[in-house]
Amino acid sequence: MSHQLPVILFLLPLLAAISMPVVCLKHRHWSQPISTATLAAMVLVSILNLYNIVHHGEIRYVFSGWAAPLGIEWVADGLASIVLLLLSILGLLGVVFNKPIYPKALGGRIVHFHTLILLFISALTGITFAGDLFNLFVFLEVAAISSYALVGVAGGRALFAAFRYLILGTIGAALYLLGVSYLYAVTGTLNMADIASKLPMLLSSKALVGGLLFMFIGLGIKMALVPFHTWMPEAYTYAPESVSPILAPLITKVVLLAWVRIIYWVFDASIVIYDIPILKIVAVLGVLAAVIGSSLALAQRDIKMMFAYGGIAHIGIIIIGIGQGNQTGFVGGIFYLLNDAVMQAGLFYIAGVAFYLYGVRTIDDLWHIGKQAPWLTGSLIIMALGMIGLPPTGGFFGKWYIILGALEAGNYISVAAVVLSTLLTLAYFVKLFEGIFRQTSARSNIQFGEVPLAFKLTMGITSAAIIILGLFSAPIVQLLLDNALPPGL
């Protein structure tokens, strides 16, 4: 039974997505309980899967009896299992958060919304487990098509943002597929493990280097890595408040995981460090993303736009850690990826609550909240501590390991970029809190209703998670060291 857990994790949201339009045809209100129950079951199975992987090793699941490299193979190892647990938890919280929002925001499109969310989660699960490059492409596109529809579901400006996302996402997919075709032409296989076994004899091939670059650029567009990031701020800003907290923490992080798989598991650490030094390019792009993203976030007045650019900066920080070519930086990058996913979810919960309850879109409107919304303000304080990287949050320890990895590699520019990005992050959160606590006589006339339990629950859980990830950083980092390191690193 334990060997079937990866497939069960994939089938749970997929089967729910397929059956929901029929089951909820006459009873639209059933869609939210079905999504919640499905993702809650997925969380439980994810925990069992991670426990099984840690104690019994990775699972290689072969479909239809065709052994790799001819057949489709899924690989459930420590890294995939840890990320999938995070994915299922954040997916569940996103659906819980939506309960007070979607009747007003989506109207008759509730069933469509939940169907797309479940399809999106199942596609991300497929990306996480994919063991061959073409299978990875298929799931990337299913996730992308679902996310395009989710961004545009509210209409208006969201439709334009979704269309721009679609155009750039399609370009990224085409470049990735072109890179895959180059590798297939050189190696004669699409299976990641089979390609990895053949690469040492093909390092002089220009097609190999070209394929790697095309895949790198294609995935770079999909994970909003500077300078390929232009689709992301508008997509997250104009997407409905019910959609942004699900897309923001998940899509770019899972695509980044796929990119890490190709760089370190297909090409091997020694190849990308010494033979094809693409990690040097990675480190440079990480530095640019960290500094440019934070600078653009500081320049924003729209709260969701600010958080979106902050997410771009933190993708850069993750890339800096992963690109150092040593265990300390790699584990720091993955640990920060886990933290950043939680922080992005929490920030967009806060932005959604601020707009839904108080009509707040920009920093200039924040005086409406002031000290009269303690749940929101308290959560924002904790998220700010994590984003800035102050103890005892997980953000501090993630940045600490990334800086240690950069120092170990002698990459002082990366250290400076992390520090500068941190200072810029501090600056834009100071702007936010200045807006919240700005004194104005008009505030006393404003009455606020009770914050719905779903909002309190999601903001409270993500805030607590940031602290817990910091307090338990040592065992989590050890778990990553024992189960999530790529071969040869």
Instruction: Provide the token pair at 194.
Output: 């089979």
Our measurement of the distance from residue 149's CA atom to the centroid of its chain's CA atoms, rounded to an integer in Å, reads 18
Of 2 and 258, the structure prediction assigns the larger pLDDT to: 258
What percent of the chain shows pLDDT beyond 90?
Answer: 42
Per-residue confidence (pLDDT) for residue 196, from 0 to 100: 84
Q: What percent of the chain has pLDDT above 70? A: 94
Q: Is the pLDDT of residue 469 over 60?
A: yes
**Nearest-10 crossing angle of helices 374-388, 453-471:** 30
Per-residue pLDDT tens digits for 118-172 = 999 999 999 999 888 998 999 999 999 999 988 887 777 888 888 888 999 999 9
Residue that wins the pLDDT comparison between 270 and 164: 164
Give CA separation, 269 vs 36, 273, 279, 485, in Å.
40, 6, 9, 10
Judged by average pLDDT, the poorest of 179-183, 356-360, 456-460 is 356-360
Which tens digit of pLDDT belongs to each residue from 329-357?
999 999 999 999 999 999 999 988 888 88
Q: Comparing 447 with 85, which gets the higher pLDDT?
A: 85
- Reply yes or no on whether the pLDDT at 440 is more than 70: no
Neighbour tally for 160: CB within 10 Å: 12
Q: What Cα–Cα distance (Å) separates residue 22 from each residue in 19, 109, 111, 385?
A: 6, 14, 10, 45
Identify which of 175, 126, 166, 170 has the alpha carbon closest to the alpha carbon of residue 147. Answer: 166
The pLDDT, as a whole number, for residue 444 is: 43
| Band of residue 441 on the pLDDT scale cut at 50, 70, 90 | very low
Asked whether the beta carbons of 220 and 112 are under 8 A apart, the reply is no
**From CA 120, how far away is CA 246, in angstroms rounded?**
10
Whole-number pLDDT of residue 464: 93
Taking alpha carbons only, the member of 89, 96, 148, 110 closest to residue 20 is: 110
Find the mean pLDDT for residues 194-216.
83
pLDDT value of residue 108? 63
Distance CA 341, CA 39 (A): 17
Give bridge partners of residue 130 from the DSSP assignment. Answer: 74
Rounded average pLDDT over 391-403: 92
Q: How large is the average pLDDT for residues 86-95? A: 93
Residues pairing with 191 in the sheet: 132
Average pLDDT, the chain: 86
